[in-house]
Chain A
Amino acid sequence: METDHELIERVRGGDDEAFRLLVERHSRAIYRSAYRITGNGADADDVVQETFLRAYRALERFDARAAFTTWIHRIAINCSLDLIDSRKRRDAKHDDEALAAVASPAATPDRIVHSIEMQRAVAAAMERLSGNERTAFVLRHFEGMPLEEIGKVLGTQLNATKNTVFRAVKKLREQLQPFTGSLV
């Protein structure tokens, strides 16, 4: 099987069939990452499309010393961030309503913890994070990515990356503490 770098060389030579192989090789993994960040399948699909389109345009600038997987995932995360930012502007009101709904007195903590409502609360709280905060948190908390790597993806220094994760945790804690307080 040809390596990613060999396929990239073919694409640079005008062979689009090689680009198809790259898409088929990486699209599923990118879909999963995008889904975790964006929170739904339709957005994840759009991120996959936009990612490969941007990659195609930028392929001439791809540094052959880098890993294609890291590079394409970085693009995917940036696409996810862009999509979240545009969606956030569009749905700001909806987010507030969603969180208010799950934090209603009728939803008691005991009931929430093991129910789908907790998932909704988490999702609503995640929606309130900025794009960078959400991505940094997803990469650290769900993917277990080291802070240095997250910094490379976001294009931030280590200290700034740490601060982004700290802010994300603080905001999530403020939003979710009422649902878990009685268990501690």
Chain B
Amino acid sequence: MNHLTHDEFVLSYYGEPDLGDARRAHLASCGQCGNELAQLAAVLDRVTPLEVPEPSDDYEARAWDRLQWRLRGERRKRPYFAWIALAATMAVAFIAGVLWKSSSRPADKPASIAATDTSSTARRPEDAKTPVPNRVLLVVVGEHFDQSERVLVELTNLTPNGNTDISATRDRAQELLESNRLYRTTATTRGEEDVATLLDELEPVLLQLAHAPAQVSDAELRAMQKRVEAKGLVFKLRVVRSDVNRDARAPQTSI
């Protein structure tokens, strides 16, 4: 009978039933095959499992902490992208409309309307060169500043009590963080420097808060509160929000 093949030695080593009685009998009686199996066993016996270091006692909680942040992104992904797509479409349509009107007005305006268009809302020639304020952006950013201000006031009003629960504030910061990034990019692109600067200052604070644990020690809470106060963020938010709301409400003479 033929000697065992490499694969049959492996089956034999692992005690797999597929080997068959006849081959087992050969192995038992053949010195060469017995020696070959011993050599294989000498290698495989020394392949011992890696020592798996036991994870810390709070491993499960830490795994969940890391994971839940990513799950939030999952949950938000669809509605979030749907909103972004809708907002982008509206913004493009809006801007396209503004630009089309701005560029077509002088040439296309019917003489009869031009002749009667002498009201206070009529656009003066020098206004034609000033950038058109992005009313859509200002409206949504005003709302965003309002919500951010409330989160920061909430944070600065918390009284340290050993292990303060900031989960509600943190959750709102997480929701605001994504919008903040989007608005900052848009504001920069649209040349709204004051708005972009404030959003830029706000972002690291929201980021820190969004990634904070649900409960923080007194020292951690005071550090976060100091950071907000040191930047004067609440005050700046009030000032810029007020300006933004005024601009957003102002008559759009350019349209």
Contacts and interface: CB of A to CB of B under 8 A. Distances in A.
Contacts of A20: 64, 68
A141 interface: yes
Contacts of B70: 49, 53
Contact of A162 (B7, B39, B43, B49): B7
Contacts of B231: none
Nearest to B59: A28
Interface residues of A, number: 45
B42 interface: yes
A87 interface: no
B46 A48 contact: no
Given A53-B67, A123-B50, A165-B10, A147 B16 contact: yes
Contact of B40 (A25, A49, A173): A173
A36 B6 CA distance: 26
A137 to B, nearest CB: 8
Interface string A108-143: 000001000011001100000000000000001110
Contacts of B39: 177, 181, 184
B71 interface: yes
Contacts, number: 99
A53 B71 contact: yes
B67 A183 contact: no
Interface residues of B, number: 33
A147 B38 CA distance: 23
A145 to B, nearest CB: 11
B22 interface: no
A180 interface: yes
A53 B16 contact: no
Contact of B60 (A16, A23, A122, A163): A23
Contact of A172 (B35, B47, B50, B64): B47
Interface in B50-68: 50, 52-53, 55, 59-61, 63-64, 66-68
A57 B172 CA distance: 24
Contacts of B49: 36, 142
Contact of B67 (A25, A36, A52, A163): A52
A73 interface: no
B74 A57 contact: yes
A123 B50 CA distance: 8
Interface string A89-124: 000000000000000000000000100001100110
Given A23-B67, A184-B38, A173 B46 contact: no
Given A32-B52, A184-B39, A176 B59 contact: no
B59 A19 contact: no
Interface string B7-48: 100110010101000000000000000010011101110111
A16 B68 contact: yes
B42 A184 contact: yes
A12 interface: no
Nearest to B49: A142
Contacts of B59: 27-28, 31
Interface string B145-174: 000000000000000000000000000000
Contact of B46 (A19, A113, A123, A140): A113
Interface of A: 16, 19-20, 23-25, 27-28, 31-32, 35-36, 39, 41, 45, 48-49, 52-53, 56-57, 113, 118-119, 122-123, 140-142, 147, 162-163, 165-166, 169-170, 172-173, 176-177, 179-181, 183-184
Given A23-B67, A31-B55, A180-B43, 8 more contacts: A20-B68, A57-B74, A162-B11, A169-B10, A169-B44, A177-B43, A179-B46, A183-B42
Interface of B: 6-7, 10-11, 14, 16, 18, 35, 38-40, 42-44, 46-50, 52-53, 55, 59-61, 63-64, 66-68, 70-71, 74
